[in-house]
Chain A
Amino acid sequence: MSLALFIEQLLNGVQFGLMLFLMSAGLTLVFGVMGLINLAHGSLYMIGAFFCAAAAAATGSFWLGLVAGLAAAAAAGAIIEITVIRRLYDRDHLDQVLATFALILILSEGVRMIFGPFPLYLNVPDSLRGTIDLGITQYSLYRLTLIGFGIAVAVGLWLLIARTRLGIRIRAGENDREMIAALGVNIRVLYTVVFALGAALAGLAGALVGAIQSVQVGMGEPVLILAFVVIVIGGIGSIKGAMVGALMVGVIDTMGRFLLPRFFATFLEPSQAMGVGAALASMLIYVLMALVLVLRPKGLFPAHA
């Protein structure tokens, strides 16, 4: 194992973590502000990827596709919030789980009806093809761009929440929704905006990741479940927790898949080591989650301590 390969895998882990952060941020915001568990968040990720791939294929421009994916996810989020989600805020979690599970079925089949049963392919834009020399290792320019995107969005989100009027309202909404409604903030509009913002982030992640994976129905749910792990680790409702949790999950998952088979290969046969290593690596983040739960049941950064 060379240092170059190790660094490359580490960067892959960070990139994966940052994309998970885009997913988790929306999920944790929606829970923090509205108290809603949204299983259909993965569908918004899928919608972002599909509209990006379709628009990129139609216009020939990845960047136009990205805008289309972002807009489609935000619009889908707003429509879902107004038609369905709004009715769920004062329901119990079971109703929220079921209704958003139903939304997954509707949105997945809806996307299949519109785009057909086959996966779409989204190419990395020409300007970001190839690798870049980082001194120690060559690294994919596109993945490095994803890291940049992730950091930029994280900073932007922090500025939005810490420095703008909308951010003040979001934070106030987390603390006491009756109070800010009494102070004259239109809470319904605020909820729609927060939901659409979370949807846009999920759509952005879907579109960005779509270029390095195939764009297909069902792509959202594995990421959604990882995002759940992230916010359970980070503490539900906390953006900072989502960032820390996402990076931990991204790096530990990627490095586990990279290192565990090599570790077992030191004392097992190669084929057996691959199997055992891969199986254990896929469980690693859940073990991490269980550990966090035992030590800190409310997550690392509990939002409502």
Chain B
Amino acid sequence: MREMRREHMLNVLLAVALFAVPLWAYFASEPFVITLATRVAILAMAGVGLNLALGLGGMVSFGHAVFFGLGGYCAGVLAHHAFSGTPVLMGLPGTNQMLVIWLVAMLTSGLLALVIGALSLRTSGIFFIMITLAFAQMFFYFALSWPAYGGEDGLPIFVRNQFPGLNTMRPWELFVVAYGLLMLVLALFAVIRASRFGAALMAIRQNPDRAAAVGISPFGVKLVAFVISGMITGMAGAMMADLTRFVSPAMMAWQMSGELIVIIILGGTGRLFGPVAGAAILVGFEVIFGGMTEHWKFWLGLVLLAVVLFARGGFVGLLAGRDRHG
């Protein structure tokens, strides 16, 4: 009980800090810090998506960057057509409205997750890891060589997409959008974790045979979780494209998938605010050590190795005690 309360307090602290730091930066006129906080919020959102599959469902997807990138391309392609006034497909117009873009990003990512999940979940363990990786590579190479939307060079978004009532070109207002979305997604994660569905998902992770024996279909439950997970990560990708005003195949690269897993592990697997802590640590590490040495990834690797070998449970686990749903 005490550990739960401690984790709860830590969560509140993280949520407040992620809002307070850019708020301070807003008054201190430090737009760079606001943009960093926005990046943390968006990466955390993508992490929450993966956390659903990996943390709760035990599905080690090493290809979640494909959803992140696909969401990004949804934003890029729709904005591209809205800007040029040309139809996207079969007379459908582009759009520069974030709400529409998010919907499209979630639908396409969910559809792709359905296909990838249906094929990959036939396997498990090491096969699942490699197959999700391979599917992501397949779309990475497709994006790289398909010439219509910039191919290797990527696709710029000239004017950032709109959110009703806000001016998204201002860093603070864009941050508010990203933060609000992150909180929504975190609430969704908490609701799912506390639901019957979430209980079934965690039961399957712990023991699929026992779950099947009490009448839960492991394949169906995992597939639904994988689809929701892909949708969340896809929406985060659309936001990331709007933050950087640029999409490129790099968003789908295997390094991105690795980074998403790293975010979850650094923060604490299966923890509600684990991805928030993990994304903050990763971005903070990059900013601090990236400024000191160009070889900062070497040190990131060492830290990561140390965390995996010696400090399981991540940041949240370190401060809030052992994982209670191991």
Q: Show the binding face of A for B, using Cβ within 8 Å.
A: 31, 37, 84, 87, 93-95, 97-99, 101-106, 108-110, 112-113, 221, 225, 228-229, 231-232, 236, 275, 278-279, 282-283, 286-287, 289-290, 293-294, 297-298
Contact = CB atoms under 8 A, between A and B. Distances in A.
Interface residues on B, range: 35 or more
Contact of A98 (B122, B137, B304): B304
A20 B251 CA distance: 26
Contact of A283 (B141, B265, B295): B141
Contact of A275 (B146, B261, B269): B146
Given A31-B126, A93-B126, A279-B146, A98 B298 contact: no
Contact of B130 (A94, A228, A275, A279): A228
Contacts of B312: 95
A109 B305 contact: no
A286 B135 contact: yes
Given A37-B126, A279-B145, 14 more contacts: A37-B130, A93-B60, A94-B54, A94-B269, A95-B312, A102-B302, A103-B301, A106-B302, A228-B134, A232-B127, A289-B134, A290-B119, A290-B135, A293-B131
B308 A109 contact: no
Interface string B19-59: 00000000000000000000000000000000000100000
Describe A's contact surface by its main secondary structure: helix
B70 to A, nearest CB: 15
B83 interface: no
Interface in B141-166: 141-142, 144-148
B297 A84 contact: no
B125 A105 contact: no
24 contacts: A31-B126, A37-B129, A94-B261, A97-B129, A98-B304, A99-B305, A99-B309, A102-B305, A110-B298, A221-B254, A225-B134, A229-B130, A232-B127, A232-B130, A275-B145, A275-B147, A279-B145, A282-B144, A283-B142, A286-B134, A289-B131, A297-B122, A297-B123, A297-B127
Given A95-B308, A282-B142, A101 B126 contact: no
Given A98-B262, A101-B258, A229-B134, A108 B308 contact: no
Contact of A105 (B147, B261, B265, B301): B301
Contacts, number: 117
B309 A84 contact: yes
B298 A293 contact: no
Q: Which of B120, B126, B300 is most buried by chain A, counting CB atoms within 10 A of its CB?
A: B126
Contacts of A282: 138, 141-142, 144-145
B94 to A, nearest CB: 21
Contact of B305 (A94, A103, A289, A293): A103
Contacts of A232: 127, 130-131, 134
Given A228-B134, A279-B142, A289-B131, A97 B297 contact: no
B133 interface: yes
Given A105-B304, A282-B144, A97 B134 contact: no
